[in-house]
Structure 1
Amino acid sequence: MSAENRITAAFSVPPELSDRRLDQAAAELMPEHSRSRLQGWIKSGALTVNGENRKPRDKVMLDDRLELDAEPEAQVSWQAESITLDVVYEDKHLLVINKPAGLVVHPAAGHADGTLVNALLNYAPEVENLPRAGIVHRLDKDTSGIMVVARSLIAHTSLVDQLQTRTMGREYEAVVVGTLTGGATVDAPIGRHPRERKKMAVVPTGKPAVTHYRLVERFAAHTHVRCKLESGRTHQIRVHMAHVKHPLLGDPVYGGRLRLPKGTTEELREVLAAFQRQALHARQLTLEHPETGEILTWEVPLPEDMEHLLAALRQHVKDLDSHEF
């Protein structure tokens, strides 16, 4: 098998992972691979420490060199399904799609089929041989917008590196509760909620997370913002905006109950009550092509439900203004 078709990676153990088990450190450094697969590679000698074979439970030390050189094998056992994909761009290395709200990315408990992975296995069967079927970053089920999927090992390695080095640019649009007076940066670590394990939260022991946001449009009791990520933590924008007391409109997990602004018209009341997802859309994606090195940018427009929401919020401002005279 040619070198370019092998799964390779190399890392030096950073201070925060020193004295951790080898399988735990590997999972932190290579989150795109499952823990069980990493343990298998350690046991087979495909994943070494300083060129030597180790056991999964062996401790690693600062600056130890972890090297992976493994043959690809079928990584998934899910079924291909004929599910329509909105393809924005594709070549032999990349598949860029516009994910609709409501589509789950990965099969899991409660969502064994009907997911993006099932659709990918039908549209691009070669992703079966890639870690996590070529998916290197996710969007929540009810977040819409642009995603990139690797179609080759070269692309997978490159995209994971771009995510880890924060060179992949991702911009989102959101509607938050409350009126913001300006943009800002939220720099707060995110980890598992200490009591509600299905939720994430800003916690001192969390992983570093940085979100920049700026104003697009301000309404009577809501604000349309654009967010840019420096990191890619689970639920990052949702957690960070809730942390600064401006949760995403419609967020069932971090937004609390629906709060209607003063002077809400019946029309706006109906629109807000009907918007049953977090108002979050991945608008723009910028990355370096894994083969050519070209910097590519794609942008997808807001979906119809968010456009309808923004139109209703604008109309509410007009209605309030007209009542002042």
Structure 2
Amino acid sequence: MEASWQYTGTEPIKIKKFLQSLGMGHRLFNDIKKGQGEFLVDHRPVRPTTKILPNQPLTIRVNPEPADPTVAVSHDPLQVVYEDDNWMVIDKPAGVTSIPGPSVTNGTILNRVTGYLLDQQSSDQRPHLITRLDRDTGGLLLVAKHHVASSMISQQVQQHQMVKEYTALVGGHLTKDHGIIDKPIARVAGQVQRVVSAEGQPASTEYWVEAEGTGWTRIRVRLHTGRTHQIRVHFAAIGHPLLGDALYGGDTSQGDHQLLHASRLAFRDPFSQRRLSFTSPLPASFTKIMI
């Protein structure tokens, strides 16, 4: 795998500092340094301690990551919204699991992407899911097609710089058209669900009311943290659980799963330095209620 950038600064800079400014994690840099790849400046191999001069190109060559033998290959349908050499954006339907686990070992999005890349003769690429969704939540997922991309995006994930917006239908009508729910979320020992608890991890959810109908409100939600079930827990905690969400007390008379959809995803591509943004239309489970 190979990637190149042009250094546009005005002062010499060490390779490590430049790559860190682009988003590269420490682990990948050290792997290359230890012989799992090489650094090139002006197309010539250099030491990791080399400084890059203004307007010089930097290239990294990295050995391919071995395929994961524990991930089965699936050729089930996959809706690809966007694809380039480094990324795939997938529109996941509700009811499909993101990654394999003890109860679901095949047919997940990761299995399907693995099969898709093999069909594209991309055998040197091992996909990594950068964002994940609950099985019954549909919408946009970001996939890194190789471990270099996974490393380059890690900083944006850790610092919550990616824009992840959701559309949800909640029960009742909210008192404010815009608000932020700041309530810590904790695990429940031995159970799937989470709860708001002073002993939990900080969690922040911002929302905007977009439409209202009989017994429901459609909201746009942006996550400022990434806790498990965060949106579901927060709106249940303020008395407006998501429609269809049996786990958190939502009305299930019009649906068998939570009405939550990952409708927008945006991030800075660390390879092209462009801002990429994607949207996903609401599924029929939403529109049939909002008629």
TM-score (norm 1): 0.67
Structure 2: distance between partners of 1:273 and 1:3? 52
The verdict on how the C-alpha distance between 1:210 and 1:178 changes in structure 2, with shifts beyond 3 A counting, is same
- How much has 1:308 moved relative to structure 2? 1.0
Alignment coverage as a number of residue pairs = 236
- How much has 1:128 moved relative to structure 2? 8.0
Runs of 5+ in structure 1 lacking a partner?
A: 12-40, 47-68, 259-271, 312-325
Structure 1: distance between partners of 2:86 and 2:199? 37
Q: Root-mean-square deviation (CA), in Å?
A: 2.6
Structure 2: distance between partners of 1:201 and 1:78? 32
1:298 aligned residue (253, 269, 278): 278
Runs of 5+ in structure 2 lacking a partner?
A: 5-23, 37-61
Structure 2: distance between partners of 1:242 and 1:218? 18
Partner of 1:107: 100
The structure richer in strand per residue is 2
Q: Secondary structure at the match of 1:83?
A: coil
Task: Map Cα deviations across residues 206-256 of structure 1 (whole Å, 9 max, x no partner).
Answer: 222111011011223221111001111111111111111111000021125
TM-score (norm 2): 0.74
- How much has 1:79 moved relative to structure 2? 1.4
Partner of 1:244: 238
Does residue 273 in structure 1 map to residue 268 in structure 2?
Answer: no
The structure richer in helix per residue is 1
The verdict on how the C-alpha distance between 1:176 and 1:193 changes in structure 2, with shifts beyond 3 A counting, is same
The verdict on how the C-alpha distance between 1:138 and 1:273 changes in structure 2, with shifts beyond 3 A counting, is same
Partner of 2:289: 309
Partner of 1:93: 86
The verdict on how the C-alpha distance between 1:292 and 1:188 changes in structure 2, with shifts beyond 3 A counting, is same
- How much has 1:184 moved relative to structure 2? 0.9
Partner of 1:211: 205
Structure 2: distance between partners of 1:165 and 1:227? 18
- How much has 1:153 moved relative to structure 2? 2.2
1:185 aligned residue (155, 180, 187): 180
Does residue 84 in structure 1 map to residue 84 in structure 2?
Answer: no
2:113 aligned residue (110, 114, 120): 120
Identity across matched positions, percent? 34
Question: Does the aligned pair in 2 maintain the 1:175–1:249 contact within 8 Å?
Answer: yes
Q: Secondary structure at the match of 1:237?
A: helix
Task: Map Cα deviations across residues 101-125 of structure 1 (whole Å, 9 max, x no partner).
Answer: 1111111122121211110110124
